[in-house]
Amino acid sequence: MPPLSVVIIARDEADRLPEAIRSVGFADEILVLDSGSADDTVAVARALGVRVIETDWPGHVAQKNRGLRDAEHAWVLSIDADERVSPALAASIIAVMAQEPAMAGFEIPRRNHYLGHPLRAGGWYPDRRLRLVRRDTARWVGVDPHDRLEVDGPTARLDGDLDHHPYRDAAEHVATIDRYTRRFVEVTDARACWWDVALRPPWRFVRGYLLQGGFVDGGAGLRVAWMGARYTALKWRRLWQAQRRDGSQRGCDGS
């Protein structure tokens, strides 16, 4: 079985990091990249016997590419501090690695949990992500904060879930929406028109809650669909307002 590195990026994750680390105890190396935590993240990681690199924060994509570069082994599993490898996924990874795979990477189904409720639909499951890769074929791409892995070569799918707990509470969800929508305005090349502001939010809700079956998750599914619509409304409204402030709204009204 070829040796495996696990890379975790973290900042102020002392409360969630231990579960993430324990879930990948089968790996040959666990590397945590900490970007200036004000809590005990670094001490917690070192107490659990993993390798820690303390860095600045260049952004999600650049930081995760650092992790690929600094990992010791040819195969790398990338997870976040709010994710846990389930026992079924761990068994699947061990089994496929024992076969010395010819693939360049493997997609993993991610099960998102919303405030304690595992989501089964609404576009939140199976939410497959490429996370197990042969390092020399892989790179992180995308526009912060929405990163993704790419590989040169064939990929396959693994069984077992990567459990994702993105929000500690509702307030953290609201704060994340605020942060991500501000970042969207800073980095996007998109243009906002009145119909983006008016039509995208209700469509986001209808798609997630009705067309993608979010209603099967009960109250959690309703809340997630509503917050998704809130996120969509805020990001397009903020982009619209930014364009109006700098006089770049031309083109949306036929002028």
Average pLDDT per consecutive 10 residues, the chain (255 residues; last block may be shorter): 95 98 98 97 98 96 97 97 98 94 96 96 96 97 93 97 97 97 93 95 98 97 98 97 80 50
- In 144-186 the beta strands, taken as DSSP E runs, fall at 146-151, 155-157, 162-164
Best CA proximity match to 19, nearest among 44, 52, 51, 53: 44
pLDDT at position 54 is: 97
pLDDT at position 249 is: 60
Best CA proximity match to 222, nearest among 128, 127, 119: 119
At 29, list the tokens.
């190396």
CATH number, domain 4-106+131-156 = 3.90.550.10
pLDDT at position 250 is: 53
- Phi/psi zone of residue 32: left (φ > 0), alpha (ψ -120 to 50 degrees), beta? beta
Tell me the C-alpha distance between 231 and 128, whole Å.
22
Tell me the C-alpha distance between 110 and 164, whole Å.
7
Please tell me the number of Cα atoms within 13 Å of 211 on its side-chain side. Answer: 7
At 53, list the tokens.
């690199």
pLDDT at position 255 is: 40
pLDDT at position 73 is: 97
Q: Please state the domain extents for the chain.
A: 4-106+131-156, 170-245
Tell me the C-alpha distance between 18 and 227, whole Å.
29
3-class DSSP state of 164: strand
